[in-house]
């Protein structure tokens, strides 16, 4: 197993919470992480028809067989089980008693909010981070290979062509979630919708335009975006709220949570295609934004990420917020540093009154440099930058 950074957060939470919940996309390694972290616990999958049947018909009897707790995989498949877990942990408080995993935010989080509030330590597990692949000596040698392959664990523990895996992933998981959550019947239109979302990764979300391009209503587009969020396929990055005397864009930006899946949905299948593709910059931005998100989630924290854009088009790709502390991040896919790379960071710094505070420029090159208060960070050194963010921005 490739060690996961989130394991430390899980062990920390298991000392104080009777229930640990691991949420995240399908095939992100939730089950493997749970069983690796708590090898002594019995394991039950609610995907198993026999186990699910017993959980539905005799939940008390099922849980009685595990007086010291267990790992319950895909627990959102039996929503009524949450109430019985609550009764169990309230009767006998044992830290780290139950470990729950789920692949749908709606199902798992609804059960937690309704029945297990205050009893659960929550970890969101996304696909591998660069630091995890680097520590296992599995990080692709080139940026284009990383953008093409993405970071889902199955693409690194077996010999499989990424396009073959993504085809099955969409058919087996995303379409099933679409059917379960919204009863989507026209899957061809839904697939076209997902592809149109991939074409907009890294862009401000315009639901009316997206709906029009797909031939669906605005409300349908909003519902389908919710499904993709719930399935951890896309992430909506919210705008930062401080206006600095400027009119701001208030719509979120849309990002795929795995750059390889976005590339595949765009029809990019070879290194030659991705090198010159018009969306390469957006894919690189998608990759960097999700790395920052993983850094938060893997430490058991919620997102502190925003973007900033005013009505005149001045934009900063990422704003990291911790209380009154802000740090700006600009993202450029080019390997050659140009002077205009720094324009947005410096303009925002003047507006925010923080022109002398540290800022980051993440780029597609290989050399770490500095330019005044701006640290220029190569894509391979993102993990080192993350360590700096913990020190400078704060872990809690």
pLDDT in tens, 1-60: 899 999 999 999 999 999 999 999 989 999 999 999 999 999 999 999 999 999 999 999
pLDDT for 392 equals 44
pLDDT for 118 equals 82
Is residue 93 packed enough to be buried (19+ CB in 10 Å), middle (13-18) or exposed (0-12)? exposed
203-212 residues labelled b (16+ CB within 10 A) or e (exposed): bbbebeebbe
Q: If you ran DSSP here, which 8-state letter would residue 340 be given?
A: G
pLDDT for 104 equals 64
Q: Please give the distance of CA 217 from its chain centroid, rounded to a whole number.
A: 27
Nearest to 205 by CA among 170, 230, 243, 238: 238
Alpha-carbon span 323 to 189, nearest angstrom: 43
pLDDT for 243 equals 63
Question: Could you tell me the sign of the dihedral formed by the alpha carbons of 282, 288, 294, 296, in that order?
Answer: negative
Instruction: Report helix, strand or coil for 165.
Output: helix
pLDDT for 244 equals 63
Contact (Cβ atoms closer than 8 angstroms) between residue 15 and residue 3: no
Please state the φ and ψ torsions of residue 102, each to the nearest 5 degrees. Answer: -155, 150
94-125 residues labelled b (16+ CB within 10 A) or e (exposed): eebbbbbbbbbbbbbbebbeebbeebbbbbbb
Pairing of strands 325-332, 359-363: parallel
Counting as low any pLDDT under 50, the low residues of the chain are: 391-396
Instruction: Report helix, strand or coil for 384.
Output: helix
What is the location of CATH 3.40.50.300 in the chain?
6-124
Q: Is CATH 3.40.50.720 the right assignment for the domain spanning 130-282?
A: no
Contact (Cβ atoms closer than 8 angstroms) between residue 122 and residue 23: yes
pTM, 2 dp? 0.92
**CATH class of the structural domain 6-124:** alpha beta
What is the location of CATH 1.10.10.10 in the chain?
130-282
Alpha-carbon span 124 to 258, nearest angstrom: 14
pLDDT for 352 equals 84
pLDDT for 386 equals 80
Nearest to 238 by CA among 289, 187, 167, 190: 289
């Amino acid at each position: 197993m490739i060690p996961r950074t989130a394991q430390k957060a899980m062990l920390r939470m298991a000392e104080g919470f009777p229930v640990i919940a691991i949420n995240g996309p399908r095939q992100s390694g939730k089950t493997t992480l749970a069983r690796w972290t708590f090898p002594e616990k019995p394991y039950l999958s609610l995907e198993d028809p026999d186990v699910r049947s017993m959980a539905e018909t005799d939940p008390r009897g099922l849980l009685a067989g595990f007086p010291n707790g267990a790992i319950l995989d895909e627990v959102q498949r039996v929503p009524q089980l949450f109430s019985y877990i609550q009764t169990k942990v309230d009767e006998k408080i044992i830290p780290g008693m139950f470990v729950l995993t789920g692949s749908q935010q709606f199902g798992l989080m609804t059960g937690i909010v309704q029945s297990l509030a205050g009893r659960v330590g929550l970890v969101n597990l996304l696909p591998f981070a660069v630091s995890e692949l680097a520590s296992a000596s599995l990080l692709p040698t080139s940026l284009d290979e990383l953008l093409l392959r993405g970071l889902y664990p199955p693409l690194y523990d077996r010999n499989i062509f990424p396009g073959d895996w993504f085809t099955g992933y969409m058919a087996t998981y995303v379409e099933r979630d679409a059917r379960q959550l919204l009863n989507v019947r026209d899957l061809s239109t839904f697939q076209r919708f997902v592809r149109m979302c991939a074409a907009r990764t890294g862009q401000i979300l315009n639901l009316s335009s997206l709906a029009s391009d797909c031939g669906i209503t605005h409300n349908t587009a909003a519902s389908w975006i919710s499904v993709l969020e719930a399935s951890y396929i896309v992430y909506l990055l919210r705008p930062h709220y401080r206006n600095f005397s400027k009119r701001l864009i208030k719509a979120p930006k849309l990002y795929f949570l795995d750059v390889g899946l976005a590339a595949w949905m765009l029809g990019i299948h070879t290194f030659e295609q991705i090198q010159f593709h018009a969306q390469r910059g957006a894919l690189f931005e998608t990759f960097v934004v999700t790395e920052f998100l993983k850094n938060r989630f893997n430490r058991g924290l919620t997102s502190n990420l925003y973007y900033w854009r005013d009505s005149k088009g001045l934009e900063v790709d990422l704003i990291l917020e911790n209380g009154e502390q802000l740090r700006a991040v600009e993202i450029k896919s080019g390997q050659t540093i140009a002077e205009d790379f720094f324009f947005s960071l410096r303009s925002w710094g003047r507006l925010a009154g923080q022109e002398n505070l540290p800022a980051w420029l993440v780029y597609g090159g290989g050399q770490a440099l500095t330019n005044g208060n701006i640290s220029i960070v190569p894509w391979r050194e993102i993990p080192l930058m993350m360590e700096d963010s913990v020190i400078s921005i704060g872990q809690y």
